[in-house]
């Protein structure tokens, strides 16, 4: 990569991953949840800045944008279309359904097949797409048989309305069960330097060649405290703790697809530049040890 390319399209440096073997994305993506209002409810405080963020993400080389019907609700998807339609040929918009919203910070699993089909149809309409490349079950609804929830998505896939199916916040056992029902190409779980409770899911995804999309990827906990291990390395490298946390994720596994989100262009640029940071083996291991010590109990 040329120096000029690295400066203008830093996401290119993150490498690529092929979801399902045929949908290639750059590994550092963008999560569009934070473009909405407080509590992931209502419109953004600064609509024009939200539009600028989405357009800048594409300019920086990002071609994986993760969203959901429940972000806003609906608003995140609507902003994506407003900002980016007609879409670049290589842009992959991954969305989700399976969480109903009744107010700010309220998330209710809802996996009835008819609801999932309805939300997929609405997402297609809001995004202006004929097919969603990656459609994820946002949560497994414990009140509905998994085969019924996934069956709805399989039906949509057979109709050509979605291409690939992913899961979110699942255990290895749930992932194995789901894969007995249909092909699963990705899993999106909480995972970051300071919280690796989904380590076993990541290891399974790596072994099976599934994309692993860590949400809340920039969380650093006490590691970034003044004088802490992340703070010290950040000062030494002239980087922010968040950038190092993202660089650590990208090095951790070739199936890792971090999707840091923000509502500010300046923060987006900072996050995306993390793809240019190459940690040494010593730096990687040092951060891994510090993160393990700071992690909550499993």
Residues designated catalytic: 71
- Helix ranges restricted to H, the chain: 3-8, 47-59, 75-84, 113-127, 146-158, 172-181, 199-208, 229-237, 241-252, 265-273, 281-294
Residues belonging to the chain:
298
Closest CA to 187 of 201, 204, 171, 167: 167
CA–CA distance, 137 with 162 (Å, rounded to integer): 12
Exposure of 161 in the CB half-sphere (CA atoms within 13 A): 18
H or E segment at 166? strand 162-168
Cα gap 100→153, rounded to integer Å: 17
d(CA 94, CA 77): 10
* Angle (deg, nearest 10), helices 241-252 and 281-294: 100
- What tokens appear for 15 in the block? 């490498």
- 99 close to 61: Cβ distance less than 8 angstroms: no
Residue 201 CB contacts under 8 Å (≥ 6 apart), including other chains? 170, 171, 172, 175, 187, 189, 212
26, 32, 34, 39: CA torsion to nearest 10:
-140
Would you give the DSSP letter of residue 152? H
């Amino acid at each position: 990569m040329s120096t000029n390319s690295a400066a203008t399209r830093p996401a290119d440096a993150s490498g690529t991953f092929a979801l399902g073997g045929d949908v290639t994305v750059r590994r550092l993506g963008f999560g569009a949840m934070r473009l909405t209002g407080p509590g992931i409810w209502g419109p953004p405080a600064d609509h024009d800045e939200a539009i600028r963020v989405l357009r800048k993400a594409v300019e920086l080389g990002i071609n994986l944008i993760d969203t959901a019907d429940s972000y806003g609700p609906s608003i995140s998807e609507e902003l994506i279309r407003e900002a980016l339609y007609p879409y670049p040929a290589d842009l992959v918009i991954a969305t989700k359904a399976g969480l109903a919203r009744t107010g700010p910070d309220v998330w209710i699993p809802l996996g009835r097949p008819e609801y999932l089909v309805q939300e997929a149809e609405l997402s297609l309409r809001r995004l202006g797409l004929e097919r969603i490349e990656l459609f994820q079950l946002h949560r497994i609804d414990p009140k509905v048989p998994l085969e019924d929830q996934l069956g709805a998505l399989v039906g949509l896939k057979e109709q050509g309305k979605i291409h690939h199916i992913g899961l979110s916040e699942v255990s290895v056992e749930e992932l194995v069960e789901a894969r007995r029902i249909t092909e699963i190409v990705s899993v999106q779980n909480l995972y970051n330097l300071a919280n690796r409770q989904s380590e076993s899911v990541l290891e399974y995804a790596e072994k099976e060649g599934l994309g692993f999309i860590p949400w809340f990827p920039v969380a650093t906990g006490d590691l970034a405290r003044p004088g802490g291990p992340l703070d010290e390395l950040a000062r030494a490298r002239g980087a922010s703790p968040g950038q190092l946390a993202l660089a650590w994720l990208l090095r951790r596994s070739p199936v890792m697809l971090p999707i840091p989100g923000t509502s500010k262009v300046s923060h987006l640029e900072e996050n995306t530049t993390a793809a240019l940071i190459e940690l040494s083996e010593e730096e990687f291991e040092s951060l891994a040890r510090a993160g393990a010590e700071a992690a909550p109990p499993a």
